[in-house]
Amino acid sequence: DVPVCIVDGAALVALITGAPRVAPSDASLMTCIVNRDDVENFVKVPGSRFVGTAREDAAATYIAATRRMVLQQREMARRKREVAAACVIQQGWRSQQLLARTKAQVQQVMEGRSKILKELMFKFGTDYRQRAVHRRVEVHVHSISIPERRRPGMDN
């Protein structure tokens, strides 16, 4: 609800005709308003933020609000830093847990393979005497690092 602005016409005419070719200032135009206390909160004039009967209260309120804003901005920045630090710690914990689980899985796989290898070695050891009496075929594969043109003349 915006109040009606009442202007003193005689003061306005005196202001305009008083100084030829000089534009009246915003402050002098505001003096022509009769109900200035009612409408000054709705009129935005540069430099008139804290003009009026309650200017000290308005200035104190503005300063206090600005101080609270700055403190809240600092608190918010601090909390953001804390959240970021907590995220880093949580990610490190998750990585350590994943590493531990992976190591345990690798250990299980290695133990399984080691068990199979030991079984094969034991089986080979028990059957060695039987296999030793039978004929065996040995296959020699020439080294790939030796050029092919030299391989036919090499002794096995």
Q: Convert the pLDDT of each residue in 121-139 to its tens digit.
A: 888 877 777 777 777 777 7
| Confidence (pLDDT) at 127 | 77
Contact indicator for 146, 154 with CB cutoff of 8 Å: yes
Please tell me the distance from the alpha carbon of residue 40 to that of residue 34, in angstroms, as a whole number: 11
108 SS3 class:
helix
State which of 5-19, 89-103, 110-124 shows the largest mean pLDDT.
89-103
Positive or negative, the CA dihedral 90, 92, 94, 96 is: negative
Higher pLDDT, 146 or 69: 69
What pTM, to 2 d.p., does this model score? 0.45
Amino acid at site 24: P
Look at residue 53 and tell me whether its pLDDT is greater than 90. Answer: no
Look at residue 52 and tell me whether its pLDDT is greater than 80. Answer: no
Q: What is the DSSP string of 60-77?
A: HHHHHHHHHHHHHHHHHH
Alpha helices in the chain (DSSP H): 9-18, 26-30, 36-39, 55-133
| Confidence (pLDDT) at 14 | 86
Contact indicator for 37, 5 with CB cutoff of 8 Å: no
User: How is residue 3 annotated by DSSP?
Assistant: P
